[in-house]
């Protein structure tokens, strides 16, 4: 997995600076900020799904998108580019539901050998405007967003990841605790499955080559059966497993890789799962994993 390092955000008067160093070349990191097919896979805090409507990547052009929150609320956003200097710098205004910019952003991409330091500097019109967004967790949201990119980069470096859904979460628990939540039937029963799903049946032989069988029950009483084998288990680091999902009598074969990376006392959890060559199936899987990992985060907080 590509390692990353982060620094504490800097806050002063009207400015907020969030930085992270990625163990990935600058051209690849730049690509993730300028190609909507990548942006939609990582942009936004935990639980958010991004949807790009249009992007015109030039000075004077704009990026229009909607962030779909885990509570079902939609957040309309626009970015108007002022300067694009590939692969060093992006400068833009960021706004929401009106034409008035909310803040001004400069993003710099600094090569450090084969690593890249990304610095995102946001300047608000007043100190009061910055204080207003701070109340809504903008600092932690920035950390989570940058961490989601850290989870995606290893899979973009491996171009065989095309045709996979990749989702990351920055979880407030050490890798050993997060890994434990995946390793027993009792642990999985606390959180496995999308929103309002339960796990009445969970049988697992948690070892490389071991088999498992699960039955998820939806809020309407319908059941989804999942069975397969564990390909690889590295404690506190990685789980790889095959699965056959019986969804409405239509079996779907997938392979899932889950990685657990320590991140300043927290865990950067990344799930990569193969998908059919079907856009609707990909969207459904992404939404399912989003709500499932929200449940995992809540279960860890109760631990």
Query: Domain residue spans in the chain?
Result: 4-159, 163-302
Question: Residues 61, 135: contact at Cβ < 8 Å?
Answer: no
Question: Class for domain 4-159, per CATH?
Answer: alpha beta
How is domain 163-302 classified at the CATH fold level?
Answer: Alpha-D-Glucose-1,6-Bisphosphate; Chain A, domain 4 (3.30.530)
The pLDDT profile of the chain, 303 residues, written as one tens digit per residue, is 334 455 556 677 899 999 999 989 999 999 999 999 899 999 999 989 999 999 999 999 999 999 999 888 999 999 999 999 999 999 999 999 999 999 999 999 999 999 999 999 999 999 999 998 888 888 889 999 999 999 999 888 775 556 678 889 999 999 999 999 999 999 999 999 999 999 999 999 999 999 999 999 999 999 989 999 999 999 999 999 999 876 556 667 889 999 999 998 999 999 998 875 556 666 777 788 989 999 999 999 987
> Do the domains 4-159 and 163-302 sit in the same CATH topology, yes or no?
yes
Question: Residues 106, 89: contact at Cβ < 8 Å?
Answer: yes
* 124-152 core/surface letters (b: 16 or more CB in 10 A; e: else): beeeeebeebeeeebeebbbbbbbbbbbb
271 Cβ partners below 8 Å, 6+ apart?
A: 165, 166, 167, 168, 256, 257, 258, 289, 293
CA 230 to chain centre: 24
Distances in Å between the Cα of 217 and the Cα atoms of 197, 204, 256 are: 5, 18, 21
Q: pTM of the full predicted structure?
A: 0.79
């Amino acid at each position: 997995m590509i390692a990353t390092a982060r620094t504490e955000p800097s806050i002063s008067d009207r400015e907020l600076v969030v930085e992270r160093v990625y163990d990935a070349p600058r051209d690849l990191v730049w690509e993730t900020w300028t190609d909507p097919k990548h942006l939609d896979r990582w942009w936004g805090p935990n639980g958010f799904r991004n949807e790009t409507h249009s992007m015109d990547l030039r000075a004077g052009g704009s990026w229009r998108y909607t962030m779909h929150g885990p509570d079902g609320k939609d957040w309309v956003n626009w970015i108007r580019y002022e300067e694009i200097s590939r692969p060093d710098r992006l400068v833009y205004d960021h706004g929401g539901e009106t034409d008035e910019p909310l803040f001004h952003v400069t993003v710099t991409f600094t090569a450090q050998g084969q690593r890249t330091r990304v610095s995102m500097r946001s300047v608000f019109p007043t100190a009061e405007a910055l204080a207003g967004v701070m109340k809504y967790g903008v600092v932690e949201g920035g950390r989570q967003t940058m961490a989601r990119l850290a989870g995606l980069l290893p899979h973009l470096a491996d171009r065989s990841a095309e045709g996979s859904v990749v989702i990351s979460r920055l979880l407030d628990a050490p890798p050993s605790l997060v890994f434990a939540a995946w390793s027993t039937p009792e642990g999985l029963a606390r959180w496995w499955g999308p929103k309002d799903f339960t796990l009445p049946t969970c049988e697992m032989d948690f070892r490389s080559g071991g088999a498992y069988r699960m039955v998820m029950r939806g809020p309407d009483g319908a059941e989804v059966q999942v069975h397969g084998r564990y390909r690889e288990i590295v404690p506190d680091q990685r789980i790889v497993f095959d699965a056959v999902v019986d969804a409405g009598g239509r079996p779907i074969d997938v392979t899932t890789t889950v990685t657990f990376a320590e991140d300043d006392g927290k865990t950067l959890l990344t799930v990569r799962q193969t998908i059919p060559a079907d856009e609707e199936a990909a969207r459904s899987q992404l939404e399912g994993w989003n709500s499932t990992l929200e449940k995992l985060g809540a279960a860890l907080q109760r631990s």
